[in-house]
Amino acid sequence: MLKTAGILATGGVTSLAGCSSGNGNGDGGEPATTETEGTDGSGSSNTVMMVTEDSEYYFDPIGLFVESGETVTFEIESGSHSATAYEEETSSASVTRIPDGAETFNSETLSEQGATYEHTFETTGTYDYFCIPHKTQGMIGRIVVGEPGGPAEGSMPPDGDVPESQTIVDQGSVSYSEFSG
């Protein structure tokens, strides 16, 4: 097994253990409880870990690049967290920081270690998101789909800092420790 930047890979297949009750929010996200292969057929994984470590709350990686049509899995490593898009009509968001016409996402709060939430990103652009219970502690992240763009470009989210979009594109992902260190 190889664990790098919060991504757990086992011979091209990522093992996702855990369970979650249906989120019932109708946003197209799905709880996942089975082994998942990368959406591009390469066996790569787009997994963002949701972490509580002492008094720190964070997503790892904090910045992730994916292509349009790829699915990202948000997984509880420790604590209780959500992955919630900055979209004015979404719980706890006062601004919209996802591309125009993009489908919003909101996992609601997941509490069980290993619980997962998946969202497929179809619309190109920059998506900023946060954890509902830890937004005020700066638990935010950024996903760039295809290329930077949309209302999140040119500024930081209202609740903290994330890597610049071009850095995410250039590196593919930016770990929390790399960004905060």
Q: Identify the CATH number of the domain in which residue 58 sits.
A: 2.60.40.420
Q: What is the pLDDT of residue 44?
A: 53
> With a cut of 50, which residues of the chain have pLDDT below it?
1-43
In the chain, the number of structural domains is 1
Answer whether 69's CB lies under 8 Å from 133's CB.
no
70 phi and psi, to 5 degrees? -85, 150
Rounded to 5 degrees, what are φ and ψ at 56? -105, 140
* Whole-prediction pTM: 0.77
- Quote the tokens at residue 63: 């910045």
134 is in an annotated binding site: yes
CA distance 4 to 139: 20
CB-based burial, 71-104: b 16+ in 10 Å, e otherwise: bbbbbbbebbbbbbbbbeebeebeebbbbeebbb
Q: Compute the mean pLDDT over every residue in the chain, rounded to the nearest whole number.
A: 81
139 known member of a binding site? yes
Residue 92, pLDDT score: 84
Q: Tell me, what's the pLDDT at 20?
A: 34
Domain that holds residue 27: 2-180
Residue 1 assigned as binding residue: no
